[in-house]
Homo-oligomer: A and B are copies of this chain.
Amino acid sequence: MVLKYSKQREMIKDFLMTRKDHPTADIVYTNVRQQNPNISLGTVYRNLTLLADIGEISRIRVGDGVDHFDADTSPHYHFVCTECGSVIDLQMKNLDEIVTLAGANFDGQIAGHVTYFYGVCGNCRKPVETAKTGN
């Protein structure tokens, strides 16, 4: 299947590149629709899947039941806030060494790992402290 240009795909990719949060398909849809009100949700899903398949974007699953997408395909880790659900990039070294640990007592072939972190993000912590000291 030879890839052909599509204005919609370009818009989706361009939109993703402007964001460093990690939008869901629905958020991509509502935003791209502001430039092209006729775009359909199916087109957004199809192109996000296609772009992820050819490696131009990456699909992020952090256990919240919705796929997130990231124009930054370099290997890096994410943090999910259990309060607000935001997905944030982490600055840390790669952990591929843990694959060796995992493979030590295992008879299969380990190709990689998925890791993400969770907790309370900086924004969700601050409001509480403000309330404490603010009274």
Contacts and interface: CB of A to CB of B under 8 A. Distances in A.
Interface of A: 61-63, 77, 79, 81-82, 88, 90-93, 95, 98-99, 101-102, 104-122, 124-125
Given A79-B110, A113-B116, 4 more contacts: A90-B106, A102-B117, A109-B119, A112-B119
A82 B111 contact: yes
Query: Which residue of A79, A101, A108, A110 has the most chain B CB atoms within 10 A of its CB atom?
Result: A108
Contacts of A119: 108-112
User: Which DSSP category, helix, strand, loop or mixed, fits chain A's interface?
Assistant: mixed
Given A79-B110, A114-B118, A101 B92 contact: yes
A124 B109 CA distance: 10
28 contacts: A61-B61, A62-B114, A63-B114, A79-B102, A79-B106, A79-B110, A91-B105, A91-B106, A92-B101, A92-B102, A92-B104, A95-B98, A95-B101, A98-B98, A99-B117, A102-B117, A106-B122, A108-B119, A108-B120, A108-B121, A108-B122, A110-B119, A111-B118, A112-B118, A112-B119, A114-B115, A114-B117, A114-B118
